[in-house]
Structure 1
Amino acid sequence: MDTRRLRLLSANIQAGSSTRRYSDYATRSWSHVLPAGRKQHALDDIARLAGGYDIVGLQESDPGSWRSGFTNQTHYLAERAGFGFWSHQPNRRVGGVASSANGLLSRLEPVEVLDHPLPGRVKGRGLLLARFGAGDDGLVVAVAHLSLGAASRHSQLSFIAELLAGHRHAVLMGDFNCVAESPEMALLYRHTQLQPPKHAVPTFPAWRPQRAIDHILVTLGLGHADMQAQPAARSDHLALSLQLDVPASALA
């Protein structure tokens, strides 16, 4: 069977802010709402990383609020890294001065991009879903940033499982805020063809990775290898990369 190898990256970019230790959440909290610091330099570093991949899923990408200097960070990264196609899903506003989005950068043209709000106790989470190729066997790539609370994650993963249940060639990537063995993750494995990762890759906190809470999950019919953590500028998460082998028919 003819296959095409795609290089995938998932990155929580923390809107270009810098966090290098737990105390920074308190002492540098201003950087999450003010248009200051070295956000553009961080974005340029992320663009250099993203430029080595074919499809990139972003979380916490500012869609153009005051804190980013009204820069749509997903668009900025697409231009700096040379991606022909990009999309974003604004989903959370913080005090009227900051906003957050899921984003997708791609060298392949999607045939469809869908924006799905996710359920949860607190609104503002979403799933960005892109379809490549025609028909039910086409490749589906979904980007999500799940809630901190287990009950909300359970509702969100149930919703995602329903969306992806019929897809043989699917990828779900993002910041799940839980490990792959969490009870709520069983919903995905039970109701879709998505598989648990072969091994855990710690991504959080970036300065001393101990928890594998960022994931790139793929369905049984897709070959994959070489999952690795990558620095995402000065974000509090490491990025996650994966080599994916996709049947050529799934991209036609």
Structure 2
Amino acid sequence: MVAPRRLRLLSANIQAGSSTRGYHDYVARSWSHVLPAGNKRGSLDAIAQLAGSHDIVGLNESDPGSLRSGFTNQTHYLAQAGGFDYWSHQPNRSVGGVASSANGLLSKLEPREVIDHPLPGRIAGRGVLMANFGHGDDGLTIAIAHLSLGAASRTSQLSFIAELLHDHPHAVLMGDFNCSIDRPEMQALFRQTRLQPPACEVPTFPSWRPQRAIDHILIGDGLRCTGTQALAAAFSDHLALSLELDVPEVALR
């Protein structure tokens, strides 16, 4: 019997490299969300160091190259600085070219294909980025999403994602869900897919006093995970979520 391969996964909302160390910073440092000021490069370097100790990383709120990032594609920068051979991004929302946001993938394994899916919702600008590893129905699929704040939009978004992953034993869905596991829309996701609720919820928001578990890494019933923990992603307002994933070799062939 071939032993499963162990991979380290990380999900991080990086807030485009901005610094938020308390609720007051949302107002006092609001300029950092539209201007290329502050030590964003230093934040990215710290995030790259954290990411580099993982095999596959899902990013939310990674700026794809607008004014506030100094026109730096942050996903590309993190791939280079963190030692990832493969990367992809899904720009979702742009505010007049001043600020943009994207889902991002960093990987030390070569994906067979990467697919962008826009998500439904009352306001356009959300998406799910899917990377397939291996071949056939048993391949590993990594889906990275940043869901809406509103429950109605999240319900339609999770229903869409459930159609993509509905009978997949080796699926992983990670990202900023903006809700806890016990929400009705999350329970519907578990009923419609082979994704499993986590054994325990790990608070990730706000990063300076974590109280809410709204960032998740959900895995299919053909996978096993250990070592889930929350880690600081520089000075983002979210903690990153890390775990070790045991993947059957058949899912990576």
CA shift digits 1:5-63 (9 cap, x unpaired):
00000000000000000011111111000010010000000000001000000000000
Aligned residue in 1 for 2:251: 250
The residue aligned with 1:138 is 139
Give 1:120's aligned amino acid: G
Q: Does 1:181 align with 2:163?
A: no
How far apart, in 1, do the equivalents of 2:168 and 2:174 lie? 15
Counterpart position of 1:71: 72
Offset, 1:187: 1.8
Aligned-partner Cα distance in 1 for 2:76–2:241: 21
1:163 aligns with 164
Deviations 1:162-219 (A, max 9, x none): 1001211000000000001111101210010000110010000000000000000001
The residue correspondences of 1:33-72 to structure 2 (distance < 5 A) are 33-72=34-73
d(CA) in 2 for partners of 1:131 and 1:188? 20
Per the TM alignment, residue 95 of structure 1 is displaced from its structure 2 partner at its CA by 3.5
Q: What letter matches 1:185 in structure 2?
A: M
Normalization by structure 1: what TM-score? 0.99
Distance 2:34 2:61 in 1: 13
Q: 2:17 — aligned with what? A: 16
Deviation string 1:138-164 (CA, Å, 9 cap, x unpaired) is 000000000000000000000000100
> Separation in 1 of the partners of 2:6 and 2:114?
22
Give the structure 2 partner of residue 105 of structure 1: 106
For the residue of structure 2 that corresponds to 1:161, the secondary structure is: helix
- Return the alpha-carbon distance in structure 1 between the equivalents of residues 23 and 108 of structure 2: 36
What stretches of structure 1 of length at least 5 have no aligned partner? none
Mapping for residues 201-216 of structure 1, pairs under 5 Å: 201-216=202-217
SS at match of 1:52: coil
Identity %: 74
Point out the more displaced range, 195-204 or 90-99.
90-99
1:153 maps to which residue?
154
Q: Distance in 2 between matches of 1:82 and 1:75?
A: 11
Match of 1:126 in 2: 127
Matched residue SS, 1:186: helix
Give the C-alpha shift of residue 96 in structure 1.
2.9
In the alignment, structure 2 segments of 5+ residues that lack a partner are none
**Matching residue of 1:92:** 93
Could you list the structure 1 runs, at least 4 aligned residues long, displaced by more than 2 angstroms after superposition: none
1:92 shift after superposition:
0.5
Q: In 2, distance between residues paired with 1:140 and 1:89?
A: 16
Tell me which residue corresponds to 2:84.
Answer: 83
Q: Kindly report the root-mean-square deviation, in angstroms, between the aligned alpha carbons of the 2 structures.
A: 0.6
State the alpha-carbon separation in 2 of the partners of residues 188 and 149 from structure 1: 16
Taking structure 2 as the reference length, the TM-score comes to: 0.99
Distance 1:94 1:8 in 2: 30
Q: Secondary structure at the match of 1:101?
A: strand
